[in-house]
Structure 1
Amino acid sequence: MLYSVKMRSAQGGPHEQGGRHISGAERILSEEKIEQAIVAMLHRAQKHQRGMADFISLKVEAVKTADIFYRPLLPLSSCQADSVMAGRKAAVEELVKAGVSTEAAAAGISRIINLRDSMRGAMLLDADTGLRVDSLGERGVRVSKMDCDNSERYEARLLEKGLFGDHVREALVLASKVASAVGVVAELCWSDDPEYVTGYVASAKYGYKRIPVLKEYGNPIGGRVFFVEHGTDVQKLITYLQDQVVLIRPEDK
């Protein structure tokens, strides 16, 4: 039996009562690994770069094997960028290559830059027009119920590329689930952790493109945008992203 273990934390009270989002995490694990995961999530919420949480929610629920979808891990590569300007230019180029219009790519970057504070979830933008197509406001679409099918093999693959830590581990799994969704053209993301300036563009066509610099060091604002095909069934897409259990399978050598 597998279990979904979720954590979300905020400062100033629960998210629903206006609390400021601090951190979140999710794993899908066997029963014997639950306690270790919960301890790690509590530590993360209490020692996060964005501040110490005074609201922490933990949720554990069983996952039925029949409900699981398996999807492939996106191939990972890196772009060259030694400044915020170069990173954002590279992001636009990667988005356009994946099928996003130049106008929409610029709109996605602008929307993240102009956030008052980081969102818990992602904005959905039309890949042609750049207009927002979801109505979830500052909450956004919270991608959930995902993990890697084989954590040991996955982490070994990352180490082979010189990568480690929660940021890239979680982002690549999330990006792989998002890229597998019907209607998604590409994703743009950079972290809200003040000391982590790396971001990425991901798509089913071209994989996960890691961009070394997408914001200034010390900036606590980050965000995520999913660019979707014009005419996509938005509610069906949101249901898949938020509710469908997906395990990501690393590629075999």
Structure 2
Amino acid sequence: MAEQLFSVRMRASQAGRHISGAERICTFEHVPQVSAQLHRRALTHPNGTPDSIHITTEALRQVTHVPALQVRELDPTVPASIHFAKLFDAHGWHPSALDHLYSVTGLRGAMIVDAWTGRRLDPHFERGVRASTMDAAGLSHSPDAKDHATEALVLAAKVAAAPGILAELCISDDPDYTTGYLACDGIYHRIFHCKEPGSSIGTRVFLFDSQLAALPDTIEFLEHHPVLVEGIYS
């Protein structure tokens, strides 16, 4: 019988403003240590000191396993905007969908944008849709904390597995982390120097095709369906 797994999720805010969020999937014995790590992360985040930290622990059922995406690092000497634009042009996605990446920040979750019209579709504009309940399968029996790169790879793999999602664009709102990515076609395109160091701008955009899936089904998968990603170990 498979060992029971738990989702441990952290959300931190300051005067109602989102500061940070993180999560793990771990075994029962590691729940206390993982919870302490997430508390510490919330209290030391460069976005500020929160006045509210919520830790949620939940037993999981029906965990889906998905493969990791292939990582491709793009030329760091080429401006990030050029890399994003070339990938958009190659797929025929509406260019206004790319505008959201630099014009909206401070959301708890991601925007869902129609890939062909550029229109925003998620029902809660003030918070977006937060992909949740995921981790690297190789870390589910370890209390060790993840780093930015590992977290991004895990999230990108879950989002790529969601029905109707064609691509994901991301720039972290962490002022100390300037690397972003565009994930599509099973490839995680790592894009360097997406913003100036010290900038708190950052957001996440999911490109959606309504011909492939119903939006409520996609949101349900992203927000609630437990996923472990194979092939990521640190």
Same fold per TM (> 0.5)? yes
State the aligned residue count.
Answer: 227
CA 72–245 in structure 1, closer or farther in 2 if over 3 Å, else same: same
Which whole-Å CA distance do the structure 2 matches of 1:202 and 1:220 have between them? 22
Query: TM-score scaled to structure 2, two decimals?
Result: 0.91
Structure 1 contact 81–90 (Cα < 8 Å) conserved: no
Which whole-Å CA distance do the structure 1 matches of 2:168 and 2:80 have between them? 15
Which whole-Å CA distance do the structure 2 matches of 1:62 and 1:129 have between them? 39
Query: TM-score scaled to structure 1, two decimals?
Result: 0.84
Structural RMSD (CA): 2.1
Residue of structure 2 equivalent to 1:213: 193
Which whole-Å CA distance do the structure 2 matches of 1:184 and 1:95 have between them? 15
Structure 2 contact 163–217 (Cα < 8 Å) conserved: no
Residue of structure 1 equivalent to 2:116: 128
Runs of at least 4 residues of structure 1 off by over 4 A?
none
Structure 2 contact 25–140 (Cα < 8 Å) conserved: no
Structure 1 contact 100–186 (Cα < 8 Å) conserved: no
The correspondence for 1:34, drawn from 31, 35, 39, is 31
- More helix by percentage: 1
Q: Does 1:90 align with 2:83?
A: yes
Q: Identity, % of aligned pairs?
A: 38
Residue of structure 2 equivalent to 1:247: 228
| One-letter amino acid matched to 1:25 | A
Which whole-Å CA distance do the structure 2 matches of 1:218 and 1:43 have between them? 21
The correspondence for 2:102, drawn from 109, 113, 135, is 113
Which whole-Å CA distance do the structure 2 matches of 1:188 and 1:100 have between them? 15
CA 82–26 in structure 1, closer or farther in 2 if over 3 Å, else same: same
Which whole-Å CA distance do the structure 2 matches of 1:194 and 1:79 have between them? 21
What do residues 62-115 of structure 1 show as CA deviations (whole Å, max 9, x unaligned)? 112xx11111011112001336xx101102222443x352xx2x3233223222
Following superposition, the deviation at residue 186 of structure 1 comes to: 0.6
Residue of structure 1 equivalent to 2:170: 189
For the residue of structure 1 that corresponds to 2:190, the secondary structure is: strand
| One-letter amino acid matched to 2:113 | L
Which whole-Å CA distance do the structure 2 matches of 1:37 and 1:187 have between them? 27
For the residue of structure 2 that corresponds to 1:208, the secondary structure is: strand
